[in-house]
C-alpha cells in the first residue's frame, strides 16, 4: 500500500497546473467574469482537447491518453482550483461516446437534477431538455437552464426528465444491503475502474474532485491573505480566531481529498457518494470561511472568493446532492 501520488501522477499534476496557468490564468478568469454574458471559449476548449483533458481515460488505441480515474481526479482538482468554466465533466465523460467530445471540438452538456448548465453553448445535450427556461445563474461562469417538471432532490416522487440516458445516478448497493459494514474495503481494488463504473458515477466523482480543488485553493487564498493583512499592528494570521478558521479549512479539504482519491482508486459507488458529500461540504464551507477571513474585501466582486463559493454551490446542487448522497451511504450501513 502506498497511497501517495506516484512520480508519474505528480508529474501529471504539475503539467496540468502549468497548462491551465497558460490557458486560463487569472486575467482570463476575470475577463470571463466581466463579459456581458458567459460564453464558452471554443479555442480554450479545443486546446484542452488537444492536451488530452477530455480523452484522458480513453484507451490509447482509441486516441486517448489511456490513464485511469486516479489521474482524472487530479486533473479535475486542478480545474476546480482555477475555476475553469464549461461543462468539463459532461464532455470528459462523453469522450469516446459522443463524436468530437474527446478532441474538444464538441461541447457536451447534460440534464442533471432538473438543471442544464451551458445549454445554449453546447453542441450535444444528454437528457431531455425540451422546454428548459434560462435562469439568472448565481455563478457568473455557469449559465443554467431549468427543466420543467422537476420537483427537487429531496423528493422521491418528483417527475424526472427522460432522455437518451437516465440522469438519476442509480448507485448499486453492495451484495447484501443489510450486511454490516464492519470491514473496510481494504481489498478488492478495481484495476481499471473506468471500464466498470457507469458514467454517472464517474461524473459524480469528478465533480467532487473539482470541489476538492476549489477547497484547497480557497484555503491557500485565506492563508496568504491572513499573512499579509495587518490590523492592530500585526498580521491577522497571528490571531487565533483567524488561525483556527484556516486550520478548519485545511482539515475539511484534506479529509475530502483523501475521500475523493480513495474513491478513485476503489471505484466503490458508495465511497464515491461519500466523497461527493464531503467534497461539497469542504468546497462550500471553505469558500465561506475564506470570505470571512477576507473581511470586507471578501464581499467585493473584485476578490475571487465569491466565484469559488458560487461555483461550489452549483456543483453541490448537481451530481448527487447531499440529501441523496447521505441516503446512498446510509443504505449501505
Partner 1 sequence: MDLAYSDEEEEFRGRLREWLAATLPTLPPRPDPLDWPARRAYDCGWQRRLYDAGYADVHWDASPTQRLIFLEETELAGAPYVGANFVGLLHAGPTIAAEGTPEQRDRWLPPVLRGDEVWCQGFSEPDAGSDLASLRTRAVRDGDEYVVSGQKIWTSHAEVADWCELLVRTDAGPGVSKHRGISWLAMPMDAPGVTVRPLRTLAGSTEFAEMFLDEVRVPVGNRVGDENDGWRVTMVTLSFERGTAFVGEVVACRRLLGELARTARENGTWDDPALRRRLGRLSAEFQALWRLTQANVSEAQATGGVPGAGGSVFKLHYSHARQELYEAAAGVLGPDALDLGHDWTLDRLSSLSYTIAAGTSQIQRNIVAERILGLPKGR
> From the CB of 130, what's the least distance to partner 1, in Å?
32
Radius of gyration (C-alpha) of the chain in whole angstroms? 20
- Taking each helix axis as running N to C, give the angle between helix 240-266 and helix 199-228, from 0 to 180 degrees, rounded to the nearest 10: 160
Under a CB-based contact definition with an 8 Å cutoff, are residues 291 and 298 in contact? yes
Q: How far apart are CA 194 and CA 70, in angstroms?
A: 10
> From the CB of 313, what's the least distance to partner 1, in Å?
19
Q: Write the burial class of residue 47 (CB in 10 Å: 0-12 exposed, 13-18 middle, 19+ buried).
A: middle
Of the ranges 25-33, 81-89, 93-101, 175-183, which one interacts with partner 1 (CB under 8 A)? 175-183
Q: Could you say whether residue 133 binds partner 1 (CB under 8 A)? A: no
The strand pairing partners of 231, in sequence order, are: 234
Of the ranges 76-84, 101-109, 118-126, 321-329, which one interacts with partner 1 (CB under 8 A)? 321-329
> From the CB of 173, what's the least distance to partner 1, in Å?
13
Total number of residues shown for the chain: 333
**Angle CA(128)–CA(206)–CA(108) in degrees, nearest 5?**
35
* Three cell numbers, residue 106: 464538441
Q: Could you say whether residue 22 binds partner 1 (CB under 8 A)? A: no
Q: Could you say whether residue 72 binds partner 1 (CB under 8 A)? A: no
Q: Could you say whether residue 277 binds partner 1 (CB under 8 A)? A: yes
Q: Could you say whether residue 227 binds partner 1 (CB under 8 A)? A: yes
- Binding residues for partner 1, rule: CB under 8 A, are 1-6, 9, 70, 178, 180-184, 186-187, 189, 219, 223, 226-227, 234-235, 237-240, 242-244, 246-248, 250-251, 254-256, 258-259, 261-262, 264-266, 271, 273-275, 277-278, 323, 325-333
Amino acid at each position: 500500500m502506498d497511497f501517495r501520488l506516484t512520480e508519474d501522477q505528480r508529474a501529471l499534476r504539475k503539467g496540468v497546473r502549468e497548462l491551465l496557468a497558460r490557458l486560463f490564468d487569472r486575467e482570463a478568469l476575470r475577463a470571463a467574469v466581466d463579459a456581458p454574458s458567459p460564453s464558452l471559449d471554443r479555442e480554450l476548449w479545443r486546446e484542452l482537447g488537444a492536451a488530452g483533458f477530455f480523452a484522458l481515460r480513453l484507451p490509447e488505441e482509441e486516441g486517448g491518453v489511456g490513464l485511469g480515474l486516479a489521474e482524472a481526479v487530479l486533473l479535475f482538482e486542478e480545474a476546480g482550483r482555477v475555476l475553469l468554466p464549461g461543462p468539463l465533466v459532461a464532455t470528459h465523460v462523453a469522450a469516446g461516446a459522443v463524436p468530437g467530445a474527446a478532441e474538444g471540438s464538441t461541447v457536451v452538456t447534460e440534464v442533471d437534477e432538473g438543471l442544464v448548465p451551458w445549454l445554449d453553448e453546447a453542441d450535444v445535450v444528454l437528457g431531455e431538455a425540451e422546454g428548459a427556461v434560462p435562469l439568472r445563474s448565481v455563478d457568473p461562469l455557469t449559465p443554467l437552464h431549468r427543466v420543467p417538471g422537476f420537483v427537487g432532490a429531496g423528493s422521491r416522487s418528483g417527475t424526472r426528465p427522460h432522455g437518451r440516458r437516465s440522469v438519476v445516478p442509480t448507485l448499486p448497493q453492495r451484495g447484501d444491503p443489510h450486511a454490516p459494514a464492519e470491514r473496510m474495503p481494504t481489498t478488492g481494488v478495481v484495476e481499471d475502474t473506468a471500464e466498470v463504473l457507469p458514467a454517472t458515477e464517474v461524473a459524480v466523482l469528478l465533480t467532487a474532485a473539482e470541489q476538492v480543488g476549489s477547497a484547497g485553493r480557497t484555503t491557500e487564498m485565506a492563508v496568504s491573505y491572513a499573512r499579509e493583512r495587518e490590523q492592530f499592528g500585526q498580521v491577522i494570521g497571528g490571531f487565533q480566531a483567524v488561525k483556527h478558521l484556516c486550520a478548519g479549512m485545511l482539515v475539511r479539504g484534506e479529509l475530502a481529498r483523501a475521500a475523493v482519491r480513495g474513491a478513485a482508486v476503489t471505484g466503490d459507488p458508495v465511497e464515491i457518494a461519500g466523497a461527493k458529500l464531503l467534497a461539497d461540504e469542504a468546497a462550500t464551507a471553505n469558500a465561506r470561511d475564506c470570505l470571512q477571513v477576507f473581511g470586507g474585501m471578501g464581499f467585493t466582486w473584485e476578490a475571487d472568493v465569491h466565484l469559488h463559493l458560487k461555483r461550489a454551490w452549483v456543483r453541490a446542487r448537481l451530481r448527487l446532492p447531499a440529501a441523496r448522497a447521505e441516503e446512498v451511504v446510509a443504505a449501505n450501513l
